[in-house]
Each structure stands twice: as structure tokens, then as C-alpha cells.
Structure 1
Amino acid sequence: MSLSATLSTANSSLFVSGERTSLVSRNIANADKAFYSRKSVETVTLPGSGVRLSSVTRAEDPVLFRKILTTGSQTATYSASLDALEQLNSTINDTELDASPAAMITKLTDALQSYSAQPHNQLAGEAAVRAARDLATFLNGAATTVQSVRNESDTGIQSSIDRVNSLLGQFQTVNEEIVKGKAMNRDVTDYMDQRDEILANISNEMGVRTVTRGNGDMVIYTDGGVTLFDRAPRDISFDRTLNLTPGAPGNAVYIDGVQVTGAGATMPLQSGRLVGLVQARDDISLSYEAQLDEMARTLVTAFSESDQSGGGGPDVPGLFTYAGATTVPPAGVLIPGLASALTINPAVDPDLGGTATLLRDGGISGDPDYVYNTDGVASFTGRIDELINAMGANYAYDPATKLASGGTLSTYSANSAGWLSEQRKVADDSYTYQSTLYDRSFEAFTRVTGVNLDEELSLMLDIERSFSTSSKLISVVDTMYNALLGAIR
């Protein structure tokens, strides 16, 4: 080998060592970044020219990365549902105060039994009325909580869509840099890391699948099959509702004109925070709201008054009523929003100037035909006992509540609490499982693609030795050139 060829080889080795040093330094500096992948230099040996830098590659594991995307989406789904269920669960989980629909119904029954034992005692009558008012207030508050959860979920859906739109804009910028960089044979590995991180963030909002073209361009589809990005983001539309109507589902989400949420979705989203929020808004909350409404309807029915004159007049609301009520709601038919509107008839509420003894005597509606204690006997218990029996009677319930279609009010309210607790437990267990699976997948992914500082420092020492060897070779060539020039002189 000639001296010039030797010098060229040594110089090329120094250049490659410098590039490798720069890359190792880059790896060490970014070792703590979540989706940074370890970079390495690919070199080729050219006869008579030494070594040349071929390309910069990054550590990849497509299978583990896809697992991160799917488990991240599932984790976000259950997280959104669990957040909503935690708020709804606050309506039944105060064990210290014994505050739940079932507990409040039991308190009302106990108060009626106490009143039946001493019908002449005005204080006992007032206690029964206040127990009924507490129950109505509780149902009002629970219904308000449900509406709050639904409205917050609707707001969350809009926030999720805004985040996806922002991320897709970032994705487009990075994706274009990758395509241009590959065409010009530039190092685009850092851009690919950024694209993976953006994709992981998108998958938290909605489940995605990807296809990569030969030029490095990436296409994103939802896990339902709708195109989300193909060279440019697709339009995502959603009309947020400021105050959702009780009993009615919220508006659907559309991607590129295709409905992806709701009952009419032809290619529905399967996972992601967006899915969990829609479930919280239109499934979990609506079912629980319907259960509360059915409890309220049953209370109106159980405490309704019938015509005592023999004239055959219709049953009318008694102790429990609601705005605009003139008749008793039909059996087994859901009235959306009734729980939030339920109230105590002011005619019997002592705190509003009413007379609690109307609960014993009847005629709460103000119509004398509906008076039970026509003789005004202080020891009259017939009406109170009738109410106690009505509290323990079987009623029909709308199947939209996802509970048994028949049973007593007490059993129904207990089943409602059990249903809500079970929904929360399932969501909590699923969230724990999916988040653990995500953590394990991410750890495995990081072990394969991440930076190991010990390995990088060891590689740095190897590069240093290579650099030292190339430097010595250049020094030897320089000495030989000086000797040759001296001999010529």
C-alpha cells in the first residue's frame, strides 16, 4: 500500500471516529428521553480509500412498539371510564353517613313505621316527611352528579379531539421531514423518534394502526379502519353540547365524514381516551341516570293518592311530586330527568308551612275526594300502613336501566348500587391490568431500543483506541514522508 493510500485510510478512519463519537454523545445526552432510540453508524470499506460512513441507523422493534400503542389506548379507555365511575360512586360510597339510595329508602320506611306506631305524634309525622325530603334531595344531588359527569365527559371529548388535531399537525411536519430526508439520504432517525412519540400520544386519545410506505411516509388508520392521516390530517368533527339533555346521548364524532362513535357508527373506534369518555357520557352515566329516574318514578307511584269518594278519579301525586305533575306516571315507563325534578309537595312540608299530618290523613293534593281520614281521627293508621305496604310492593321497571325489570323499590335501589360498584370494579381491574401490561411492554421496548450508558461508555473507549491508532498511523506516515523528502534533498 502506498503512503498516500495509507494516509487516506487513516484520515477516513479519523473522520468516522469523529462521527461515531458525536453519535455516542448524542445517545448519552438523550438517554432519559422516553422514545429516543439508540443510534449507531453503519460503515463500508472501500479499496484504497479506507472506511466511509454509510448511514445512521436506530434500534427498532416494530412488534413491541405496536404493543405499546394498543396497550396505551386500552389503558386510556379504562382510565377515562374509571374517572367517571369514581365520581358516580361518590353518590353511594359514604358508608359513615349511610348515604345511598337504598339507605335513604330504608330510613324513610323506618320513619313511616315509627309514625304508624304513634300517628297522633306530630313530631313523628314531621320526621317521616323530612326523611322523604332527604331522599328527594339525595336523588336530586345524584342526578346533578350524573349530569356533571356527562357534561365533563362531553368537554373532555372536545379536548381530546383538539389534542388529536394538534398532534396530527405535528405529525405531518415530522413526516414530511422524514420523506424529504430519506430522498436526500440524510440522517432522519431523530425525526423518526419524534414521529413515534407523537403516534404514541395520538394512540392515547384513539386507537390507531399504521402503514409505512417505501419512502418512509406513514399512513395512520383508526383501530376501526377509518383513515386518520394520509399525507395530510383528515377532518375530525364534533359538536359539543354545553348542557346535555337528560336521557339523551350526546353528539357523535366524525372522521372524514364517517361516524366513529355512537349507536350509528359504521366503523367505530375501539379504544382510546375518546372511547372511554363516550362510554362515560352515553352508556355508564345514562344507565345510572335512568336507574335514579326509575326510583323517583316509583316513589311518586308508591305515595300517590287515589279517589276515596268512589267517583273513579285518577290517581294523583301525593307526598312525592314534580313540576307539572297532574297524574301518576305510567308503570314501567322511564321519564328522563325525573330524579332531578323530584320534590316534596309543599302542602305537607312543615319547613315550608305545610302540614305533616296530611301524610296520615291524605288529601295532599288539596282535593277533598282524596282524603283518607275523613273523620279526622288522631289514631288513624290506615293510610300510613298503606304507604308502608306500597314501599315493599313489587313494581315494573324500564329495561333501559340494565337492571331487573321488576322488584321492590328497596331491592331495586340496592341492585343499582351493586351495579355501579361492579362497573367501577371491572373498570379498575381492567385499568390495572392494561396499565401493568403497558409498563411491561414499554420496559421491554426500552431494553431493546433504548440507550445503555454502560455500553455507550464502553463504545467510547473503543472509539478512543481507534482514534489513537489512526493518529499514530498518520504520525508514522508523516515521519516517512519527512525521511523521503530529506533523502531527495
Structure 2
Amino acid sequence: MSLGTSLYTTITGLKTTESRLDAVSSNVTNADKAGYTRKEYQSNYVTTSSGTVPTGGSIETLAYDQYLYNAMREDSSDVAYFEIISDYLSKYSASLGSTSDSSTISSSLDNLITTIEALTQTPEDTSLKSTIVSAAEMLTYELRTLSSSVQELRADVDEQIEVLVTEANTALEQIEVLNKQIARAEVMGTSTANLEDERRTALEALSSVIDVEYYINSDNQMSVFLGGRSLITSTSGATLLSYNSTSIVDSTVVYPGGFDNVDLNGVDITTELSKSALGALIELRDTILVDEQLKLDEYATTLMDEMNTLMNQGASLPARDTIVGEEVPPVAFISSGSVRIATVDSAGTIANVVDLNLAGATSIGDIVLLINGSAIGADVTASVTANGELQLVANNAGEGISINESTSSIGVDAEGFAKFFGLNNMFDGTDASDIYVSDYLRTSSEYMVTTQLSLTAVVGEVGVSIGSASQIEAISDLFDTAVSFSAAGDFAAQNVTLSTYVGKVMSAIATEASSAKTLYETAHDAYETTVSNYENLTGVNVDEEMAMMVELQSQYEAAATLLNAIQEMFDQLMSAVN
């Protein structure tokens, strides 16, 4: 080997060692950078008659396992899904509280039951009536608050969907840009290793938002797909998702129709998004939280129906001098049976009474004519309000109106006279979102029903007894009686008490929240294990890199010493020639 060849070989060796030192330095510098993989300088060699010498090279990621990376990406998607489900279920469970808490729907119901039971012992106690109305107001407040909590969570979820769609688009745009940068680097013959790291990091971020598939072609270009639909291909740019959150969310806003579509190039893919962060949010908004609202609504409507049925069968003392129905009846209906209407004084003595035969009455107008044209018409005036409700007004000072539904049956549900028109309702509203205690009770709790108007008493006799607790006892018994609940959300139809149903709502969501938390923790542990395995394979061990740096430094010094020796030999040769 000539001195020139030796000199060339030594210089290329020095450059190779220098490049390897650069790779080690980069590894140490980026050891904590997310997604960074350990790099090595891979030399290219050429063999000639004079020997084998390095002819350049490139920095590459050597210890990369695609299957392990895919497992980490899928685990990341699972973690994002279960974390979101767990987080929102925990929030709603916290708003429900537990059956042992002092300010929950369960405790409010217990307070109402307790005060009603107390009134059965002293039905004339006006302070207990006031306490009952207050307890009922607290119960309706809890129901409205829970309903509002559900819809606030749905609104928050909807906003997060827009946020995550934006994050997904950002990741897609990053992959598109990195594809182009990698293509340019391939043409220029420079290393693409760091760009590939960044592209894998962007793909992992995308995978936590939506469940995607990908492949990398022979030109090192990444294509990404969602359910068979292209998001990025080697020949086209990124196809972005679009979504706009809804400004106002209540129980009437649902998908499809109420919420925007998650759109991909004009196609609604909302229902195609599976176990990922975006899929979790859609499942919460459109299924899980909707089910919870349906259960609250079923409880509220059943409570209203059962309590109002019993309230309208009863009478209070004192009796109201003006009664306005809280139900607007249909234009036409069928009536049968009879209803007793009486005017009574403050002691419950009947001043006037009539048993009206309702047969043939098919409208509220017929009912008004029937009442006004009867014997009671001299003392009670019936009319229709501007809103379409039935109104009864006692004409004589000091007298109020009492009603016994008797055998009356009106409408498709065959309700009693007072129930059909909502004359003595305890609660009003349409569902859990707007349930409230009737205005007349909030204004004056003394009108709380405790007894019934006698069906046999005549004028001059006591028709409403102040000491009778017959109807408040019936109301009290309601809470020990199984009532019919229709299927709602993930609850099947069932016959249970009002208290039991509340307990089931609370325990079910607590169980779901606990289960979701367990699933999240399990998924997170699996993810951490996969990440650890991946990082052990591809990550940087700083101690190993520093040891490699010392070794390379020794190689560099040896090559430098050899270069000096060759230089001296050249000098000696030149002196001899001269």
C-alpha cells in the first residue's frame, strides 16, 4: 500500500469516526425528546486492490420494530378512549353523589317521604305542609340540576369533538409536510431518520384521536386510511375532517339532525369512529349521557304521574277559591262517569254540591257549559283561560272549591276529572329538565291535599274533615308501592318503588364509572409496558452513548496519530528526494 493510499484511508477513517461522534452527540442531546429513536452512522465501504475503505454513509435508526410500534399506537388509542369515558362518567357520578350524601336526589326524596309520613299523624299541621312543599321543591331542584349537568357534559363533549378534529387535522397536515420533506431528503441523499421519527410521532398523535391504518411504500411515503377511506396517500395531500360544535345543547339536540356531522370529504363518518378519543366523545354524547337523561326523565314523569294522580283524588282544607288547571286538554275527548264538585267553608261544611254526569262531554267547552248550567253553577263559575286551561272560581266569599273525581273517566288514558285538567297537581313540567312544584302550592302550602271530599255528605254537613288523613296516607303508601317504569336508556321496564329506582340510577352510574376507571387503568398499564419495551429497543441509553463516545474518541486519536506518522514519513521522503 502506498503512502498516498494510507493517507486517504486514514483521512476517510477520521471522517467516519467524526460522523459516528456526531450521531452519538445527537443521541445524547435528544435522549429525552418524545419519539426520538437512537441513531447510528452507517458507513458505506468500497473494496479495491489496495483494501477496503469507507466512502461515506448515512445516519439511520437501526433498532426499530414496526410491530411493537403498531402495538404502542393501538394501546395509545385504547388509553385515550377509556380515559375519556372514565373521566366523564366520574364527573356525572360525582354530581349524583351517593345514597349516604345529605344533598342528593336520594336524600331529597327521603326528606319528602319522611315529612309526608309525619303529616299522616297530624293532617291539620300547616307547618308540616310547608315542610312537604319545601322538600318537594328540593327534589325537583335536584332533578333539574342533574338534567342540567347531563346536558352541560354533553355540551362540553361536543366542544371537545371540535377540538380533537382540529388536533387530528394538525397531525394529518404534519404527516403530509413530513412526507414531502422525506421525499426531498431521499432525492438529495441525506438522512431521513429524524424526519421519520417526527412522522411516527404525528401518526401516534393521530391514532389517539381516530383509529387509523397506514402503510409506507417503497418511496418511503406514508399513506393513512380511516375505515377504508384515504386521509393521506403518496400521490395526494391530506384530506381533512370538518366539524363545528353546537352552541346550545339540551335533551332535544341529538345526532343526527341536532349535532353537526364529522365530515370527511363530504361523507358523514360520525358512526364509523370507533375506540379512540373521538369515538369515546361521540359515544358519550349520543349514547351514554343520552341514556342517563332518559332515566332521569322517566323517573321525573313517573313521579309526576303517580303523585298527581293521588293529589287530584284528594281535597285540602282550606279549599281554594280559584282553581286553574295546569293541563291544556286536547280539542276533543271522550268523557264518562260522574264527578262531585262542592263549595265548602273554612270548616269543611258543604255550602253547595253537585254530582255531574260527564257522559256526552267531548270538549272543554262542554265541561264549562255543564258546570255553569248545573246546580253548582250559582256558586262556581267555570271558564277557559287564554291558554286553554279549565278555571273554576268560587263566587261566594269565605268558600272554596272541593272535587271528588268519583267515577269520572276522561281522555285516551281514562283519567279522573281533576287529573285530566290538572286541577290539583303536585308537580308540573314535561321531564326532569323542567319539573317543578305547582305554583298554587308554592304560593300557599296549606292547600296540600290530606283528605277527600265526601261522596255522601249533603249541604250543611261536613264534606271535608280537617282531621282526616285518608288521602295523605294514600300518598304516603305510594312510596312503599312498586310502580311501573317504562324502559329508559339502558334500563329495562321494571316495577319498583320510587326510592328503588333512584338508587338504581345512582348505583348503576357509580358501577359504570368504577368499571371505566378499571378499564382505563388496565389499558394504561398495558400501554406503559409497550412503551417501555419500545423505548428499551429504540430509545437512548445515555451511559451507553457516553461509553461509545469514549471509544470513538480513542479511535479518533489513534487515527490522528497514524495521520501524523504518515505525514512524518512524507516529510522524510521529500527530504530524501531533495
Partner Cα separation in structure 1 for residue 133 and residue 425 of structure 2: 8
1:229 counterpart letter in structure 2: I
Q: Secondary structure at the match of 1:298?
A: helix
User: Shift of the alpha carbon at 1:12?
Assistant: 0.2
> What does residue 176 of structure 2 align with?
172
User: Relative to 1, partners in 2 of residues 1:115 and 1:340: Cα closer, same or farther, differing over 3 Å?
Assistant: same
User: What is the alpha-carbon distance in structure 1 between the residues aligned to residue 549 and residue 462 of structure 2?
Assistant: 102
* Larger strand share, 1 or 2: 2
Equivalences for 1:384-403 in 2 at 5 Å? 384-403=472-491
Q: Does 2:284 align with 1:280?
A: yes
Q: Distance in 1 between matches of 2:511 and 2:426?
A: 30
Alignment of 1:2-401 (within 5 A): 2-46=2-46, 47=48, 48=50, 50-58=53-61, 59-93=63-97, 97-222=101-226, 224-230=227-233, 231-250=236-255, 251=259, 252-261=261-270, 265=271, 268-304=272-308, 305-306=312-313, 308-310=404-406, 311-313=408-410, 314=415, 315-316=419-420, 317=422, 318-323=424-429, 338-349=431-442, 353-361=443-451, 375-401=463-489
Pick the structure with more helix per residue. Answer: 1
- Name the stretch that deviates more: 69-78 or 175-184: 175-184
Deviations 1:236-290 (A, max 9, x none): 12242111240542433222333332xxx3xx12222111111221111111111
Gaps of 5+ in 2: 314-338, 340-403, 454-460
User: Is the CA contact (8 Å cut-off) linking 1:247 and 1:286 kept in structure 2?
Assistant: no
**Aligned twin of 2:376:** none
Cα deviation for residue 361 of structure 1 reads 4.7
Q: Which amino acid aligns with 1:235?
A: L
Go from structure 1 to structure 2 and tell me whether the alpha carbon gap of 1:355 and 1:312 turns closer, same or farther (over 3 Å shift).
Answer: same
Task: Give the alignment partner of residue 431 of structure 1, picking from 520, 525, 548.
Answer: 520
Give the CA deviation at 1:442.
Answer: 0.8
Aligned counterpart for 1:468 among listed residues 557, 560, 570: 557
CA deviations over 1:372-414 (Å, ceiling 9, x no partner) = x982322121111121233333333332321131222222111
Query: 1 CA distance for matches of 2:214 and 2:445?
Result: 70
Residue 225 of structure 1 and its aligned partner are, at CA, apart by: 3.6
Give yes or no for contact 2:99–2:503 (8 Å, CA) kept in 1: no
When the two structures are aligned, how many residues end up with a matched partner? 458
**Cα-to-partner distance string for 1:313-345 (whole Å, 9 max, x where unaligned):** 43244444335xxxxxxxxxxx6xx10110000
TM-score, structure 2 as length reference:
0.76
Deviates more, 1:292-301 or 1:470-479: 470-479
Change in CA separation of 1:294 and 1:309 when aligned onto 2, cut-off 3 Å: closer
Give unpaired runs (5+ residues) of structure 1: 324-334, 364-372
CA displacement 1:165-193 (0-9 Å, x = unmatched): 12211221112111221233211111111
SS of structure 2 residue aligned to 1:156 = helix
Give SS of 2:446's match.
coil
Contact 2:152 2:249 in 1 (8 A): no
Q: Note the C-alpha offset of 1:133.
A: 0.9
CA deviations 1:215-249 (Å, max 9, x no partner) are 11001123x44322224221312242111240542
Amino acid aligned to 1:321? F
CA drift of 1:200 comes to 1.4
The amino acid of 1:257's aligned partner reads G
Residue 215 of structure 1: SS of its match in structure 2?
A: coil
- Per mean C-alpha deviation after superposition, the further-off stretch among 129-138 and 407-416 is 407-416
Taking the aligned partners of 2:86 and 2:212, their CA distance within structure 1 comes to: 22
1:134-153 deviation per Cα after TM superposition (whole angstroms, max 9, x unaligned): 10000010001001000000
Q: Distance in 2 between matches of 1:361 and 1:215?
A: 87
Secondary structure at the aligned position of 2:111 is classed as helix
Q: Secondary structure of the equivalent of 1:348?
A: helix
State the structure with more CA Rg: 2
Q: Give me the identity figure in percent.
A: 21
- C-alpha displacement at 1:93, in angstroms? 1.8
Distance of 2:275 and 2:107 partners within structure 1: 37
CA contact (8 A) 1:403 1:415 kept: no
